[in-house]
Copies of this chain bind each other. A is one copy, B any other.
Amino acid sequence: MWDVAEELKAMLVFAEHRYYGESLPFGPDSFKDSRHLNFLTSEQALADFAELITHLKRTIPGAGDQPVIAIGGSYGGMLAAWFRMKYPHVVVGALAASAPIWQFEDLVPCNVFMKIVSTDFKKSGPNCSESIRRSWDAINRLSNTGSGLQWLTQALHLCSPLTSDDIQHFKEWISETWVNLAMVDYPYESNFLQPLPAWPIKVVCQYLKNPTVSDSLLLENIFQALNIYYNYSGQAKCLNISETATSRLGILGWSYQACTEMVMPFCANGVDDMFEPFLWNLKQFSDECFNQWGVRPRPSWITTLYGGKNISSHSNIIFSNGDLDPWSGGGVTKDISHTLVAITIPEGAHHLDLRANNAYDPASVLLARSLEVRHMKQWIRGFHDNARRQH
């Protein structure tokens, strides 16, 4: 956005989503209970954006007769797409980067996400995904004994001693680390979820070349790999299995949203992917939501509200996706019409196209960005043509 604002003579407005950052409708009580959280929905967020844009157009001199474009990545990309669908009179188009608008119900297979993560590891070094696939049983075997648990705590430099009750969570924490690495597998040093080297999965995979070693050696290698993600800066004294990303992304708000509207089914089978198999269990998920927030999810509502795969009557939305990004599995990766277009970036991770220009950008993301700008210019031209015709 910063890079193309001048070319498009654009004003940049960053709208903070309610219940995130400093936009807490009830201050410190905002996450207190479901009554206070009742106003945290995607619809309310879209309405905020509509009010904000309408307000800015009314109050900023010269803004009233200018076109507006919605831009977002990830959940923000879904919001950008949905905003154009629901408020086409407010924005002339939307760039929905890495927006998994189909990661709901059965619109895509629930294992597609984990499959893409695994493919990234498979492609990033010999035996890499196979090493990870074998690590789960190694952990299971070691965690059968007290001395095994003690060894794991030390070998993986964990901040608190592992107990057998922690094992399930411990494995999920490792899984989530691989997932996060897939999301941020950028071609240069970056700091989205954590400070990381260029092509971090390649770096990680250097430690995971040999899957047929002993359990303890395999897990020492796993530690080296995890350490890339959690300790690239060299500052961490130990690894904390209750954290996977820096907390600034608003994990609390998202957890509530996932428990109400944003119900995304995930699963793995251990064959098409490198993870320990798990099923999508709505009942269990619902019970967890009820325990945590006092609410139960509505898994079909997003599809009913935003149309699922039947969105062809809309227009002027770019869906961009990186092939390395696990979220691309729930994204729109084929053109739906000539105004609902898909752009894929083979070397791209999670919304790489929205990141600042970088000397190490692969050609595919440069092409994506220039296509995006071309579409935006077309929307802007169309807006002005229309305005002229009406006068």
A50 close to B (CB within 8 Å): yes
**A310 within 8 Å of B (CB atoms):** yes
Chain B residues with Cβ below 8 Å from A50 are 304-305
Stretch at the interface among A136-144, A227-235, A311-319: A311-319
- Cβ of A384 within 8 Å of any chain B Cβ, yes or no, is no
Among A312-358, those with CB < 8 Å from B are 312-315
CB contact under 8 A between A304 and B51, given known A89-B311, A311-B89? yes
Q: Which of A273-320 contact B (CB under 8 A)?
A: 300, 304-305, 307-308, 310-315
Contact indicator per residue, chain A 357-391, by CB within 8 Å of chain B (1) or not (0): 00000000000000000000000000000100000
A18 interface hit (Cβ, 8 Å): no
A47 at the interface (CB under 8 A from B): yes
Q: Report how far A87 CA is from B85 CA in the complex, Å.
A: 9
Q: Is the C-beta of A134 less than 8 angstroms from some C-beta in chain B? A: no
Most chain B beta-carbon neighbours within 10 Å: one of A305, A308, A314, A386: A305
A312 contact set on B, CB distance < 8 A = 386
Does A16 interact with chain B (Cβ within 8 Å)?
A: no
Evaluate contact between B86 and A86: CB separation under 8 angstroms.
Answer: yes
A363 to chain B, nearest CB (A): 34
Asked whether, in the complex, the Cβ of A308 is within 8 Å of the Cβ of B89, the reply is yes
Contact partners of A311 in chain B: CB under 8 A = 89
**In the complex, what distance in Å separates the CA atom of A90 from the CA atom of B50?**
23
- A window 57-95: CB within 8 A of B: 86-90
Select one of B54, B300, B304 contacting A300, CB under 8 A: B54
Q: How large is the interface on A (under 10, 10 to 19, 20 to 34, 35 or more residues)?
A: 20 to 34
| Contact residues in B for A54 (Cβ distance below 8 Å) | 300, 304
Q: Chain B contacts of A315 at CB under 8 A?
A: 313
The answer to whether B307 and A89 touch across the interface, beta carbons within 8 angstroms, is yes
CB of A105 to closest CB in B, whole Å: 12
A33 at the interface (CB under 8 A from B): no
Distance A86 CA – B84 CA, assembled complex (angstroms): 11
Asked if A43 is an interface residue, CB under 8 A from chain B, the answer is: yes
CA distance A86 to B307 in the complex (A): 10
Known: A54-B304, A300-B54. A314 touches B86 (CB 8 A): no
Given A43-B43, A313-B315, A315-B313: A307 and B51 interface contact (C-beta under 8 Å) = no
Question: Least Cβ distance of A91 to chain B in Å?
Answer: 10
Residues in chain B near residue A86, CB distance under 8 A: 86
Given A54-B300, A304-B54, is A89 in contact with B47 using a C-beta cutoff of 8 Å?
no
Which residues of chain B come closer than 8 Å to A310, judged between CB atoms? 89
Q: Tell me, in angstroms, the Cα distance from A91 to B32 when the chains sit together.
A: 39
A89 and B313 within 8 A (CB): yes
Tell me whether B43 and A88 are in contact (CB under 8 A): no
Q: Which chain B residue shows the least CB distance to A313?
A: B88
Docked Cα-Cα span, A135 to B3, in Å, equals 69
A313: B residues at CB distance < 8 A: 88-89, 315
Q: In the complex, which residue of chain B has the Cβ closest to the Cβ of A88?
A: B313
- List 18 additional contacts besides A47-B305, A54-B300, A89-B313; criterion CB under 8 Å: A43-B43, A50-B304, A50-B305, A51-B304, A54-B304, A86-B86, A87-B305, A87-B307, A88-B307, A88-B313, A88-B314, A89-B307, A89-B308, A89-B310, A89-B311, A90-B307, A312-B386, A313-B315
- The 6 A-B residue pairs whose C-beta atoms are closest, nearest first, are A89-B307, A89-B310, A88-B313, A54-B304, A50-B304, A86-B86
Q: List 22 A-B contacts (CB under 8 A).
A: A43-B43, A47-B305, A50-B304, A50-B305, A51-B304, A54-B300, A54-B304, A86-B86, A87-B305, A87-B307, A88-B307, A88-B313, A88-B314, A89-B307, A89-B308, A89-B310, A89-B311, A89-B313, A90-B304, A90-B307, A312-B386, A313-B315
